[in-house]
Amino acid sequence: MPNRASLEAIFKNNRHWSQSVGAQDPDFFSRLERQQTPEYLWIGCSDSRVSANEIMGLLPGEVFVHRNVANVVTHTDFNCLSVLQYAIDILKVRHIIVTGHYGCGGVRAALENRSLGLIDNWLRHIKDIYHQFEEMFTHLGAEESVDLLCELNVREQVANVCHTTIVQDAWKRNQALTVHGLIYRLSDGILHDLDVNINAMEEVPRIYQMYNDQDLRNRLRTLRTTLKQGKSTET
């Protein structure tokens, strides 16, 4: 038998929470059962001090959530890709919000050379970002470096989301979908917009744009029509 005694406090809190929510709002749980049509997919850090719902003032059911250490999106992570695909194709979310937080422990670890085990391999992705923008860190102190890398990491992960076939397929079928990058500081919990709001194929660097044969035929047809229209207005 597992030692349930150590979880006793959690079960007690849970029953208390369930009763008090039910007392304040008797329909809460029946509403929750019916509702799974979120408009937002949140991709954030696993940090226990971070709660997607609370920080956005949304109810459970209003936001679909994926979390991992340092909010990283990599193209071979089938966990993250599955969440993306389900959120976009089935739930039809309209916004994907990659959210980082200043002082992130994962980002901090990526700036150091101390091995923490298997996770070093995961954080390697963040070291790559540092390496790419190394000159930006030249005159920064330790904390400023962590914060800058936290911001650059969010931007990079927004780009990675946009480079997936899942997001690009959605754009190609004209599904409304915007990818955003936000960051906040644990000391005040205020969300800051990093002003990377991407909602179309054309905003992605060309090398990352993927088209199959049918897409290319469609693009060619559109181009021809545009050219024809241009000609007819000239004459």
Candidates 17-25, 40-48, 212-220, 225-233: pick the segment binding Co ion (CB under 5 A): 40-48
- The question of whether 80 is a catalytic residue gets the answer no
CB of 37 vs Co ion, minimal distance in Å: 29
Give the residue from 161, 155, 174 showing the smallest Cα distance to 218: 174
- For 69-87, b/e burial (b = at least 16 CB within 10 A) is bbbbbeeebeebbebbbeb
Candidates 7-15, 75-83, 101-109, 221-229: pick the segment binding Co ion (CB under 5 A): 101-109
- The question of whether 104 is a catalytic residue gets the answer yes
DSSP 202: G
98 near Co ion (CB under 5 A): no
Give the residue from 78, 226, 93, 61 showing the smallest Cα distance to 164: 78
Instruction: Check 15, 16, 27, 47 and give the catalytic one.
Output: 47
CB–CB of 222/206 below 8 Å?
A: no
Instruction: Check 45, 80, 150, 162 and give the catalytic one.
Output: 45
Residue window 41-60: x/- pattern of binding to Co ion, with contact defined by CB under 5 A: ----x-x-------------
Instruction: Check 4, 49, 114, 139 and give the catalytic one.
Output: 49
- The question of whether 150 is a catalytic residue gets the answer no
- Choosing from 104, 150, 154, 159, the residue that interacts with Co ion (CB under 5 A) is 104
Contacting residues toward Co ion, per CB under 5 A: 45, 47, 104
